[in-house]
Amino acid sequence: MAKEKIDRRVFENETGVQGQYKNWFLEYASYVILERAVPALEDGLKPVQRRILHSMKEMDDGRFNKVANIIGQSMQYHPHGDASIGDALVNLGQKDLLIETQGNWGDVRTGDAAAASRYIEARLSKFALEVAFNAKTTEWQLSYDGRKNEPVNLPMKFPLLLAQGADGIAVGLSTKILPHNFCELIDASIKYLRGKKFELFPDFQTGGMIDVSGYNEGKRGGKVRVRAHVEELDKKTLVIRDVPYGVTTTQLMESITKANDQGKIKIKKVTDVTAKDVEIQIDLAAGISPDITIDALYAFTDCEVSISPNACVIENHKPRFMGVQELLRCSVDNTKHLLKRELEIRLGELEDKWHYTSLEKIFFEEKIYKELEQKHETWEHVIEAIDKGFAPFKKKLKRAIEREDILKLTEKPVRRIYRLDINELNQQIKGIEADIQEVNHHLANLTDYAVAYYDNLLKKFGKGRERKTEIKEFDTIQVKQVAIANTKLYINRAEGFIGTGLKKDEFLCECSDYDDIIAFTKTGTMKVVKVSDKTFIGKDIIHAAIFEKNDERTTYNMIYLDGKSGVSYAKRFNVTGVTREKEYDLTKGSEKSKVHYLTANPNGEAETLKIILSPNCTARIKELDFYFEELEIKGRSSMGNQVTKYPIKTVKLKEAGKSTLAGRKLWFDDKFGRLNTEEKGQYLGMFEDEKIIVIYNDGSYELTDTEITQRFEPEKIALVEQFNPEKTITAVYLDADKGQYNIKRFKIETTTLKTQFVFIKEGKDNRLEAVTTEQEPILVVQTGRGQQVRKAKFKVAKMVEVMGWKAVGAKLTDFNKSIEMEWEVRPPSDTAQTELF
């Protein structure tokens, strides 16, 4: 027993097993955070990256070195294996900033790995040599084995961490800093130095598009959405032109194949034809909409990914969470400090050089060197005599003469004495003084000097580093709208079950896994449920269908019997929003209530019914007609209007109804290129069977329907509105071949939907300048600049006759780069003067 107590005390003691495990874990966690996974604030590098760059600097002779040799050199500083060094080196090389590469270094877009380290070569880039190294401003420490010195941090004069980005997973801590654009970082640095506001958003080598609305400066809790560009090559083929950040072409194709296998999209095949540029071709299945498929690719595949940044860095040996703006400010402040230190070191060197050159000049000009020819008892007496010879000139010097200065003068070779050119020394002193003045000016105007430094970086290294990732706000894709109906839904009406597993029962419809189902029973209850294998609704199901939330057009016409009073009621109602799995009673809630008649009408149709009463009732008229169009559409909980107090035998459809609803109002959201009913963007009008006309900047037009899932590219659209075949279209376009602007008026004669027709003269650089559907348009043409501006107005309807849509048109004026055109909506008064040229 005593032995067990002793063993427990030893285990629980700090020096016992438990205490040692506690200390070991803390030491391990601290080591991983500080020495492996998280970059330093000062230079933006992890230890392994810093050691690689330092080793490459030691080896640098302007030529390429084999990566295997660089790895071996780095192992003198990094206490880990060659694999971790090699992976870090390849990662640095693929970022194409600090390291110039030669050989097969892999491809971040396709996921191809680099060749073996013995086959590839690298050297420091000119940019790295300019911004990352200066032995005079570097703080040094002993390497892990004490044999060599390595930098604590590199004197980085650039926001490298934001340019390269960083990923790291430590113990209980992680960091994810997204890469940013080189040129934008320099512009933001200059703005910060000037005291101006700036914004920073990620930019990726892989291109694509990014929605930064939730970026939150890269702090914890932020999120960005990244998409690949997906283009419609034709109605049967889609092309993916790039990949989202962190996704390879292989991963992207696998996600597309998986979505197809799961029935979320329908494609024939997907082919990777990537070479210099990313290109993945997707062949669509027959009858599948390319617009819906593009949305589905973003919804169900890696064509869109969400990334959650988490900017964490090491500052003063502790992890710290920061935003990208604060990271940039710290980097710029550090760069400014390093530039100041370099100037101060340079100033000290110049002053030392001025001091010695001045001594040298005095030493020979005033013939103090002759003291060397005098017979002095000791060498010390010679030194003292020389020092005494400088006495009359000490006030002209900037600092005291030290013994080392005199010794250095005495070491001058005798032949130098006789060749001495005093004028040359005077020129040297003037040059040094000019340099000192320049350095002092830079120190006095350090901010301007730092701005000039950044400007020089942008000028020397900014070419070819323009933004690759397009910043745009993404629309929210409704998964239900783009999901393919890939599942068969069955119903057992008598038993009251609905599900995809009831394959022996009645087939209801095809649906997707994301759909909701609305069902009504004979007793007047309603329930909305998720698609599943088998769900109980209630016995005697009389109607079931796919439920569309917030659908204000689908109208239910219903006649039911109130079980308590025996009175029958009729009602019309919409079901816009409900709680899933909750049962709703559509009657007055009495026992023995039942539904006589129920229909679902997608456009609010109101039919006419023939109601036959029970032959045993006391009613004088046993048959009557009922018109649903006389009822208002109310909420589902309304009681409804009384139809009859007598018992009903049957209800029959007498005449199909017409819609009692107005047409659907549509808007065009020019931000996302979408049609909508939520009043976003340009109002197009009230639609029933009408079409939409879209006129593009390339001089083509397209007729299309009102399908909400269509996608448009707003930047390519010149005009979009409700199509009226009686309207005349007036267009002005550039005929680049003849160097003139043509004008034409025409009506749409084609009827084919979703096909583009070119209505301007075809030719290179031909483009649409102005277009309108106003019937009496006034074209305002402005030429010249500044005080030489001239304006002319054209009453187009009186100038140009209506012609065929394929006609070339009439000449308006010659081409001029300064010409600007616009339509005057309000016609000018009768007294207005029109100048033609």
Distance in angstroms (rounded) separating the CA atoms of residues 717 and 673: 9
- Per DSSP, which regions of 796-833 are E strands? 802-803, 810-814, 820-824
Distance in angstroms (rounded) separating the CA atoms of residues 438 and 340: 13
Burial of 444 (0-12, 13-18, 19+ CB in 10 A): exposed
**Contact status, residue 832 vs residue 754, Cβ threshold 8 Å:** no
The residue annotated as part of the active site, out of 21, 28, 31, 119, is 119
Q: Is position 696 annotated as part of the catalytic site?
A: no
H helical segments located in 411-557: 414-419, 422-444, 446-461, 479-482
Neighbours of 620 (CB within 10 A): 5
Residue with tokens 């003292």: 384
Residue of 310, 111, 321 whose CA lies nearest to 224: 310
SS3 (DSSP) at 429: helix
H helical segments located in 635-784: none
Residue with tokens 């009495």: 590
The amino acid that residue 308 corresponds to is: S
Q: Are strands 568-573 and 633-634 parallel, antiparallel or unpaired?
A: parallel
Burial of 339 (0-12, 13-18, 19+ CB in 10 A): buried
Distance in angstroms (rounded) separating the CA atoms of residues 266 and 478: 18
688 to each of 142, 144, 241, 659, how far by Cα in Å? 80, 78, 37, 10
Burial of 738 (0-12, 13-18, 19+ CB in 10 A): middle
Distance in angstroms (rounded) separating the CA atoms of residues 695 and 39: 52
SS3 (DSSP) at 42: coil
- The DSSP 8-state label assigned to residue 112 in this structure reads B
Tokens of 426: 């005077």
Angle between helices 324-365 and 446-461 (to 10 degrees): 110
| Residues recorded for the chain | 837
Distance in angstroms (rounded) separating the CA atoms of residues 217 and 325: 7
Active site residues: 119
